[in-house]
Structure 1
Amino acid sequence: MTNNLGTILAGIREKEKISQKSIADGIISSNFMCKLEKGEKELDYVVMETLFERLGKCADKIEKGITNDDYQLIRLRDEIADCISKNDSQSAKMKLEEYTAWTDMKNNVHKQYYRKIEALIEYLDNRDARTCKTQLLEALQITHAKWDQNGSMYLCNQEIRIVLLITYMKIMLGELQEAEEKLNAYCIFLLHHYTDKEELVKIYPHAMWLLAKVYFRQDKVEEALITIQKAKECLYQNGSLMPMYALLELEGKCLELSSKQYLLQENMQCREAFDFLYNIVEEQMPIEEVGQLLLCSQQREYIILNYLIKEVREAKGMTQEQLCEGICEQESLSRIELGKRNPHRKVLYQLLKKLDINREQYYGFIVADDFALYEKIREYRRCGPRGEKEKEARLFKEIKQELDTSVTVNRQFVEMEQIYLENTLQGEEKVNALKKILHYTMPGIEGKDMLYRIPFRAEYSLMNKMAITYYRQNKWKEALLIYEKILSEYEYSRVDMKYHAVPGLTFYLNYGAFLEDNNELVKSLEISDKGLKFAISICRADIIGNILANRSCIYEKTNEESLEEKCLRYSYVFITMYRRNKIKEKVANRYLEKYHCRLG
């Protein structure tokens, strides 16, 4: 097992019977691609991600250790998309200039991105769709010099977004027939090629939204409604937030003109739920249509290796001189820890090993060369919230058989999930078993807390399970202390919480609920706010209903009756939309008991 992203990439490509040239073309040379797949070359993470996307796969499933330079590029891309979605061209322009400071702009992926954003900023300023369309086509040709507009080439997420933006400009110019033909072709391409649902949901609903807009402008209302429903279904299944509100707005317009006006009330309730969500946390809803095409759900998990080295070294009480001895110069280590220099791979592995962090430990939940296992684990972890117990048990059995449990993190994952599924251990016995498994990758340090660095996905999951175990024993102090330590590590980290997407979903939900149960209402409301803003920032909607339901309990205790009722009512709307079946009936019954009125 190599535990190399290039090897995983090669495995997907060979399984799909796609040539290296087809995936690398316009991004890197075939020779570089060959060496990349053998682990002999490295790429910045943004470029590596585009290669996964050209294979129709989402790299979010793999927890990654990245350099500070990589992180800054990812952060700025997200901030620029947010600026454009809010029609703030000036801030987008400043951040785009900052972007060039973190990369040499030699790779075509970065050149293309820069040209795309330049075109969109200019469009926001002057609304010249024809010029923008020309500029976007020029950007697309940076990686596809002979662009086939029928979409027969392999395209990454960035390229597809440019294609959709070009089509949007066609719609603005009234070129509806051509836009319809192209969008139908693109949607078929996406469904065929983007077999990874987590990657598909980042772009397919956006394409269908545009297609529905075209139908609506051509007075094809029924076709528009069918298209909108398909887009919404993709979002429901994957718990994604964007572009749901845009779809609901368009659906409302269509329903007013159709024979299905009886569905208008449900549509209005959904839109009201979104309005309530953004108002209650004082967030601005995306207002710019081209910005809607840039926003999508994410479940990224990043650790900045520069700062991880510093964090663990200090926790162990080691000086820089002690750590770098026999590996590199002290000055080099100092620059690495400050984020001013990216460590060479060989130096990085030696430093991590000396800190008792094996190379395998910064990809989790598991380590495998077969990407299909990461996909299967993603599906397995979605079963619990949906109440799909039989499917959950079947998938775990398959995962256990396929994983190499001689690898530490794989053994950690299997043993953790066995405790959860078997559910035979209780109380302190269960907590101690979970602690033992945690120490596989986070061994104790004398004089330090159990958590002395930012946790990886599996480590967070173990600590979350400990907190839940304490909670069920009515040991509030112990449960809350775990979450406080986790929050402290996340806040100390230089990585924005949105890049700890998977842990963040359950962290804010559980921590807020436990605080409310313990009557720490002010702090619970603060965590609720952070949780809802976090969900919006990563465009994930599947926990919003649960957090709103918890929030209604806070307002009940503070005698804020109007807010209590609205939180409970709109929590039901989100829970129903995103099929959180385990809690749906509980919320409906509570509303009926409290207000003598049935929801739904």
Structure 2
Amino acid sequence: MNKDNVGSIILTLRKRMHISQKDLCRGLCTNRTLSRIELGERIPDKLLLDALLQRLGKSPDKLETILSEKEYMLFCQRRAIERDIIKYDFEKAKNKLEDYKKRKECKDILQRQYVYKIEAVLADEMEHNVGKSIYLLKQAAEMTMPNWEEEDKINFLLGIEEVQILLILAQNYSKIGCEKKAIKLLIKLYIYLETKYSDEEEKVKVYPRCAYLLANLLWKNERYEETVKICEKAIDLLTKNGVINYLEELMNIYSMVLKKQGKLKLANKIERQRENLLEVYSEYGMVMNERKSSILLVNTQSELFLCNEIIRYERINSGKTQEQLSESICSPETLSRIESGKRAPSRRNFNAIMNKLGIEKSIYSSYISANEFEVYEQKRNLSKHIARHQYEEAYNIFNSLREKMDCSIVENKQFILSTEVVLNHILGKISRQEALEKILEALSYTFEDYENGIYRTLSRQETVILNQIAVIYKNLGNRKKAIQILKDVLKSYENSKIDVMYHYSMCALVMINLSAYLEEEQEINSAIEICDKGIKLDLKCGRGNRLGAFLTNKACSLEHASDKERCIKYFRQAFYLSDLMQNIDDKETIKKYFEQKYNSDEIWY
């Protein structure tokens, strides 16, 4: 993305979808504020940007976001409140909410709406006062959706927070016996999400919960055909996108309906997959009743960075003193406070510092640069095909993407060269040595001397490249060097104040290869430790697409300890979860290996 170009993307999307400024910003901000954002005269905070893109049916998670330490702490406070509610520790949640409300940022409408939502959840779950909860939820809804109750269908735009509020409201209606009212609201939301949320990365955050609540009510009313269709769609959306929040609940309803319909073979398959998912939840400390809260679990996909860390690390790497970097921008004392996280830089100062350091960074950026949001969606589709080993399809998407990208921009040039190398290497079109030379060249565009240590948090593309460098070194027989590279990458993320869950995709990718290489080096305890860390990260982030790989690596590591019973358990879990998450190649590889190694097929369907 070009510097401060997020407004241009919003403008392009809005006009293409024939949405007026008034409809897009309704309840969020003024028309004038939105106009300034679209013209690049104002940078929205993360909450507002998320809401605007979500109302356009798009995921803000395709962008990398740079936050001040103060903004990040606010982000963490919200997460901590929600975790306490999920754990039924309502008193802690209430106290944290009171502290949260004292912050001056909470005067903003989106912050106040969030406070109302949490107060509504606490009124229900802590005070058992559903009537009060419904009142607070309606108040929250009115903040950004005025007169929403008067409309027979949803003719206005909704962000994730607004959908969550209405879903909790529908859940509360069913608690007080107003099932028809709950079903009516859920059907309206279901139709809205089906038709308006075109970006699956965003849709998967709320659609499954809507489907679960609706399917549960339809099941109780013996509307079996509708229940099956809703469950099948939601389960397919979740598994295609590697998400497990509400998956077990939907599978439970689905299997019960299938049994009612006499479809016992399919019901048995669903039950086996569900049982193995529950086993993993239980082993890693995820108690199921902790997941039944009114708070909507949202899978984590955001990529966050701290501006003070970026400035400090890049300044040190450039060899500049604070006095040299701050000259003509701000005082050295101000820069010192910025680097320590005690002060957030203004937009002008941040841009000036980045320019002086020779770095193309804006508050909202991406690992590729484009004015069309569809390019980011196509890039995600490419990544999904590569992850599923569908390389020919991936190559076709890549060729289409390349034609739409400006190769004079460093990030794009890096992405094109590195992706081409990865695909050509996998497809056997170039040798390992040639692949290594070319991919090192791609890395040098933004990071020249990685062998002397990784001094900063990496971008997604830099991590993808370093991971591939490690793969090539391993294939060339230098496994120790591959392990060291992956350890350095992982350490760079763990050294940041940003929780690794906000770099989930990259950390999980690195952990899978690192655990496999450690097992091959017979560093068994270290391999198992990385596998356990990866599984916990998956569950914490509501993700499941890599669970099969981690469980497989753990089973292979335990083979060295001749722990046959546990090996079989983890191979079985890996098989069923790989099948569930539509990782068919992985499932077949596990099955073939297990049958050859143990001369048995007893653990399959």
* TM-score, normalised with respect to structure 1: 0.95
The one of 421, 424, 427 equivalent to 1:422 is: 424
Deviation at residue 141 of structure 1 after TM alignment: 0.8
Change (3 A) 1:103 1:505: farther
SS in 2 for 1:498: helix
Deviation at residue 54 of structure 1 after TM alignment: 0.8
Deviation at residue 103 of structure 1 after TM alignment: 4.9
* Superposed CA offset, 1:388-428 (max 9, x none): 23321111111100000111100000011111122244344
Separation in 2 of the partners of 1:95 and 1:529? 30
Question: Letter of the aligned partner of 1:318 in structure 2?
Answer: K
The one of 340, 365, 368 equivalent to 1:366 is: 368
Q: Report the more deviating stretch, 548-557 or 277-286.
A: 277-286
Aligned match of 1:90: 91
Aligned match of 1:318: 320
* Superposed CA offset, 1:131-166 (max 9, x none): 211211111111122224532110100000100100
1:441 aligns with 2:443: no
Separation in 2 of the partners of 1:521 and 1:188? 50
Separation in 2 of the partners of 1:403 and 1:97? 48
Amino-acid identity (%): 28
Equivalent residues of 1:67, 1:342 under 8 A apart = yes
Change (3 A) 1:550 1:333: same
Q: Report the more deviating stretch, 98-107 or 303-312.
A: 98-107
Separation in 2 of the partners of 1:234 and 1:393? 24
Deviation at residue 319 of structure 1 after TM alignment: 2.4
Q: Report the more deviating stretch, 573-582 or 420-429.
A: 420-429
Separation in 2 of the partners of 1:267 and 1:61? 32
The one of 265, 271, 274 equivalent to 2:274 is: 271
Aligned match of 1:63: 64
Separation in 2 of the partners of 1:98 and 1:492? 28
Aligned match of 1:133: 134
Equivalent residues of 1:60, 1:301 under 8 A apart = yes
Separation in 2 of the partners of 1:463 and 1:411? 16
Deviation at residue 199 of structure 1 after TM alignment: 0.8
Q: Report the more deviating stretch, 420-429 or 551-560.
A: 420-429
Change (3 A) 1:273 1:101: farther
Question: Letter of the aligned partner of 1:487 in structure 2?
Answer: L
SS in 2 for 1:290: coil
Equivalent residues of 1:212, 1:228 under 8 A apart = yes
Matches for 1:103-114 after TM superposition, within 5 Å:
103-114=104-115
Separation in 2 of the partners of 1:131 and 1:252? 35
Question: Letter of the aligned partner of 2:497 in structure 1?
Answer: R
Change (3 A) 1:48 1:325: same
Separation in 2 of the partners of 1:286 and 1:528? 25
Aligned match of 1:567: 570
1:581 aligns with 2:584: yes
* Superposed CA offset, 1:56-83 (max 9, x none): 1101011222222332233233333332
Question: Letter of the aligned partner of 1:435 in structure 2?
Answer: L
SS in 2 for 1:64: strand
Aligned match of 1:72: 73
Separation in 1 of the partners of 2:195 and 2:13? 16
Equivalent residues of 1:385, 1:581 under 8 A apart = no
Separation in 1 of the partners of 2:291 and 2:384? 32
Deviation at residue 274 of structure 1 after TM alignment: 1.7
1:402 aligns with 2:404: yes
Structure 1 unaligned blocks of 5 or more: none
Equivalent residues of 1:240, 1:296 under 8 A apart = no
Deviation at residue 433 of structure 1 after TM alignment: 2.4
Equivalent residues of 2:67, 2:363 under 8 A apart = no
The one of 247, 252, 270 equivalent to 1:249 is: 252
Deviation at residue 257 of structure 1 after TM alignment: 4.1
* Superposed CA offset, 1:12-38 (max 9, x none): 111111011111111110001100111
Q: Report the more deviating stretch, 121-130 or 510-519.
A: 121-130
* Superposed CA offset, 1:277-324 (max 9, x none): 123323334535334x51122321111111111122233343222221
Separation in 2 of the partners of 1:507 and 1:102? 37
Matches for 1:325-474 after TM superposition, within 5 Å:
325-359=327-361, 363-423=365-425, 424-444=429-449, 449-474=452-477
Deviation at residue 98 of structure 1 after TM alignment: 4.1
Question: Letter of the aligned partner of 2:548 in structure 1?
Answer: G
Change (3 A) 1:102 1:452: farther
Deviation at residue 356 of structure 1 after TM alignment: 2.7
Separation in 1 of the partners of 2:466 and 2:99? 37
Change (3 A) 1:91 1:213: same
Matches for 1:179-328 after TM superposition, within 5 Å:
179-285=182-288, 287-291=290-294, 294-328=296-330
Deviation at residue 361 of structure 1 after TM alignment: 10
Matches for 1:152-191 after TM superposition, within 5 Å:
152-191=155-194
SS in 1 for 2:305: strand
SS in 2 for 1:126: coil
Question: Letter of the aligned partner of 1:408 in structure 2?
Answer: V
Indicate the RMSD between aligned Cα atoms, in angstroms. 2.0
Question: Letter of the aligned partner of 1:506 in structure 2?
Answer: L
Change (3 A) 1:361 1:36: closer
1:505 aligns with 2:511: no
Deviation at residue 488 of structure 1 after TM alignment: 1.6
Aligned match of 1:529: 532
Q: Report the more deviating stretch, 341-350 or 586-595.
A: 586-595
Deviation at residue 558 of structure 1 after TM alignment: 1.3
Aligned match of 1:53: 54
Aligned match of 1:597: 601
Equivalent residues of 1:64, 1:362 under 8 A apart = yes
SS in 1 for 2:66: strand
Q: Report the more deviating stretch, 159-168 or 496-505.
A: 496-505
Q: Report the more deviating stretch, 311-320 or 212-221.
A: 311-320
Equivalent residues of 2:545, 2:578 under 8 A apart = yes
Equivalent residues of 2:235, 2:247 under 8 A apart = yes
Change (3 A) 1:324 1:144: same
Matches for 1:471-486 after TM superposition, within 5 Å:
471-486=474-489
Change (3 A) 1:341 1:380: same
Equivalent residues of 1:23, 1:154 under 8 A apart = yes
Change (3 A) 1:469 1:218: same
Change (3 A) 1:535 1:288: closer
Q: Report the more deviating stretch, 580-589 or 542-551.
A: 580-589
Change (3 A) 1:178 1:595: farther
SS in 2 for 1:195: coil
Deviation at residue 174 of structure 1 after TM alignment: 1.6
SS in 2 for 1:105: helix
Equivalent residues of 1:532, 1:547 under 8 A apart = yes
Change (3 A) 1:478 1:66: same
Equivalent residues of 1:569, 1:591 under 8 A apart = no
Question: Letter of the aligned partner of 2:383 in structure 1?
Answer: R
Deviation at residue 213 of structure 1 after TM alignment: 1.0
Deviation at residue 255 of structure 1 after TM alignment: 4.3
Equivalent residues of 2:119, 2:133 under 8 A apart = no
SS in 2 for 1:65: strand
SS in 2 for 1:350: helix
Separation in 2 of the partners of 1:509 and 1:223? 39
Separation in 1 of the partners of 2:32 and 2:535? 46
Equivalent residues of 1:311, 1:453 under 8 A apart = yes
Change (3 A) 1:321 1:274: same
Question: Letter of the aligned partner of 2:447 in structure 1?
Answer: M
Change (3 A) 1:258 1:427: closer
Separation in 2 of the partners of 1:486 and 1:422? 24
SS in 2 for 1:359: coil
Aligned match of 1:542: 545
Change (3 A) 1:518 1:98: farther
Separation in 2 of the partners of 1:102 and 1:555? 50
Q: Report the more deviating stretch, 229-238 or 403-412.
A: 229-238
Equivalent residues of 1:297, 1:539 under 8 A apart = yes
Equivalent residues of 2:66, 2:304 under 8 A apart = yes
1:552 aligns with 2:555: yes
Change (3 A) 1:421 1:252: closer
